[in-house]
Homo-oligomer: A and B are copies of this chain.
Amino acid sequence: MPGIRAVAQRAEVSTATVSRAMRGLPNVAPETRERVIRAARELGYWPTPAASSLATGRTRTIALLTPWVRRWFNSHVIDGAERELRAHNFDVLLHTFNLDAEEKRSELDTKSLQRRVDAVLVVGIVLSAKELSELGRLGVPVVFIGPGPPGAYRVFVDDEAAIGAAVNHLADLGHRVVAHVGGRSENRPQWSPPVRRRQGFIRAAQERGIELGEELFSQANFSTSSGRRAAAELLAGRGDITGIVVDSDEMAFGVLTELFEAGVRVPQDISVISIDGVEVGELVGLTTVAQDAFSQGVAGARTVLALIAGKRVEHDAVFAPRLIVRRTTGPVPVRA
């Protein structure tokens, strides 16, 4: 593999000129530039990233931090971000967290990110205060997609609007005993989605005269199986629930599975609505409040690119959710 010197020799210029010419810098005679480019092409020259990086201090690489790769939200965000970043000639370093059996994650270790990336994109995870401050110490732009602390650069869906749309939809159908399946919210920061959605649920319920009570709340961890367990708990606790609002479609699939197995008809006995807009939701007939995760990935990438370029950017990019009514919700059943 030829180096910059081979190109310089062939084009009969210095390596400095090759460097300038190849990167489109000014102060290179058009004729010289052309000669350099041609020589590079003929030799199949491509600069060694490590060498450029060492010399410039930049890496043209963005870290993507995420606990899961295959969850719906995360995979769509990653897809959007990766395509946008690569379109701008940035590489994407995929970095997950170790998760144990209960999906508790290990602490983020920022050391391995030092001088390794030009910026960090945090996708779908609530970081601790300590982790946040360590990330900040990296000295590179950080953008949060999904959960992110106030004051940081963030891209997210309007949680209150999303959960409110779900509650209102059920209220409009006459439901008054509605349960909520959400993520864990105890000991979570105020800005984490599980907390905001729980609060949004409570507020919307109060506004619409929907009953509230501890036995109407069940917590899960965003996996389908945990959604199923949550539904089982709910059914065991109260026999008069007519509607369930779920924080994610994937958990809702678990809820629906449990209801199906328990012989509960949807929506005749119980209505189910969730948040996300997973593609198979159409087949299942799942009523949902959709968010555009792919576009959030693209938006996060654009924010990061702008920050790297030293441009000013809005701190928050808020996406609006969209209610999609299908077959898992219906009028409240008439009591016998």
Interface status of A230 (Cβ within 8 A of chain B): no
In the bound complex, how far is the Cα of B315 from the Cα of A93, in angstroms? 28
Q: Which stretch, A8-16, A183-191, A207-215, A278-286, touches the partner chain B?
A: A278-286
Q: Is the CB of A280 within 8 A of B224?
A: yes
In the bound complex, how far is the Cα of B98 from the Cα of A290, in angstroms? 26
A112 to B, closest residue via Cβ? B46
Q: Residues 72-108 of chain A: 1 if any B CB is under 8 Å from the residue's CB, otherwise 0?
A: 1001101100110011000111111010000000000
In the bound complex, how far is the Cα of B44 from the Cα of A69, in angstroms? 30
Given A46-B111, A49-B115, A279-B224: A78 in contact with B94 (beta carbons within 8 A): yes
A118 to chain B, nearest CB (A): 12
Q: Is the CB of B68 within 8 A of A79?
A: yes
**Size of A's binding interface in residues, CB under 8 A:** 46
Partner of A253, one of B54, B256, B283: B283
Q: Is the CB of A115 within 8 A of B69?
A: no
Interface status of A70 (Cβ within 8 A of chain B): yes
A56 to chain B, nearest CB (A): 9
Interface status of A48 (Cβ within 8 A of chain B): yes
Q: Is the CB of B70 within 8 A of A83?
A: no
Interface status of A128 (Cβ within 8 A of chain B): no
Given A279-B224, A283-B253: A94 in contact with B92 (beta carbons within 8 A): yes
30 pairs of residues in contact across A and B, judged by CB atoms under 8 Å: A48-B54, A48-B114, A48-B115, A49-B116, A50-B53, A50-B54, A50-B59, A50-B115, A54-B54, A61-B93, A69-B75, A69-B78, A70-B72, A70-B76, A70-B78, A70-B79, A75-B75, A79-B96, A82-B94, A82-B96, A83-B96, A83-B98, A91-B95, A91-B116, A92-B93, A94-B94, A253-B279, A253-B280, A253-B283, A283-B284
Beyond A68-B79, A70-B78, A75-B75, list 4 extra A-B contacts (CB 8 Å): A46-B111, A86-B95, A91-B93, A224-B280
